[in-house]
Amino acid sequence: MKVLHLDKNHPLIIEQFKGFGFTNDVDYTATKEEVEAIIHNYEGLIIRSRFPLDKTFLDKATNLKFIGRLGAGLENIDTDYATQKGIFLASAPEGNRNAVGEHTLGMILSLFNKLNKADKEVRNGKWDREGNRGIELDGKTVGIIGYGNMGNAFAKKLRGFDVDVICYDIKDGVGNENATQVDLEELQQKADILSLHVPQTQLTKNMITANFINGFKKPFWLFNTARGKCVVTADLVTALKEGKILGAGLDVLEYEKASFEHMFTDNELPEDFEYLIKSDNVLLSPHVAGWTVESKIKLAQTIVDKVKAKFL
């Protein structure tokens, strides 16, 4: 097979593909239109998030047998159309689920103990112990929406804490020893912490709205390491101002472009984002929850293993 690599990944993917007898070409700079002009020459395609693989692109890919995406989701691919064309689709949520679980837990502990705020103050010569008194995770109820690879990995990280972990998922029977599956109403009644671990779909886009937030019985903490467009930022900011959300850890933002590599179309920051960056009870990171040294290796190996199992 001839395979085209459109994004830089761990070199093991090319090395192992060579071992399978595959021919590997790389093109990390071509436009979507330029790739469309040559994609008919390839049976395999490796991508992260450079551009969407829509019907127009897939119609040009007349010989394509597989697409490997080194990430958790396939939202930048028209999966229904690709499947109709008989293209094997491989994503790699197994590769970065541990990293996402650790990052989410780190965000919770950092916000609960005001580590980001305290660090900045000490660096500026301010020694405020009472103003940085934290709260403990023990005794809280953690609600997880989306209990697949990521939700499971996060729940596993909580096993060392004295917490109740509940989960909601559109699939039945996903609860396990790490989390009890409940309906959405029960999660909203009980949760002190809400962590999102869902893919971006029509069901999850704009999922966290004012109406959703107002359905919670008590103020809660929100953590999003899933997709930015799951949360309506304006409604989040309103809830933060009103105290309905006590704080937020956001690895992803509504404003991100589809490539995840850039955020804003222009240089003007949205007003709601200005509020977030000035808030001591908000912790932000640049879509790196699954972006570790180890996950880079595991993501590549996961795709290699899936392609090998399918074609060799």
Of 129, 227, 242, 262, the active-site residue reads 227
User: Would you call 15 a catalytic residue per the annotation?
Assistant: no
User: Would you call 48 a catalytic residue per the annotation?
Assistant: no
Q: Give me the DSSP letters along the chain.
A: -EEEE-S---THHHHHHHHTT-EEEE-SS--HHHHHTTGGG-SEEEESSSS-B-HHHHHH-TT--EEEESSS--TTB-HHHHHHTT-EEE--HHHHHHHHHHHHHHHHHHHHTTHHHHHHHHHTT---SGGG----STT-EEEEE--SHHHHHHHHHGGGSS-EEEEE-SSSS--BTTBEE--HHHHHHH-SEEEE-----TTTTT-B-HHHHHT-SS-EEEEE-S-GGGB-HHHHHHHHHHTSEEEEEESS-TT--TTSS---SSSPPPHHHHHHHH-TTEEE-SS-TT--HHHHHHHHHHHHHHHHHHH-
User: Would you call 103 a catalytic residue per the annotation?
Assistant: no
Of 256, 261, 262, 271, the active-site residue reads 256
Mind telling me the catalytic residues? 227, 256, 287
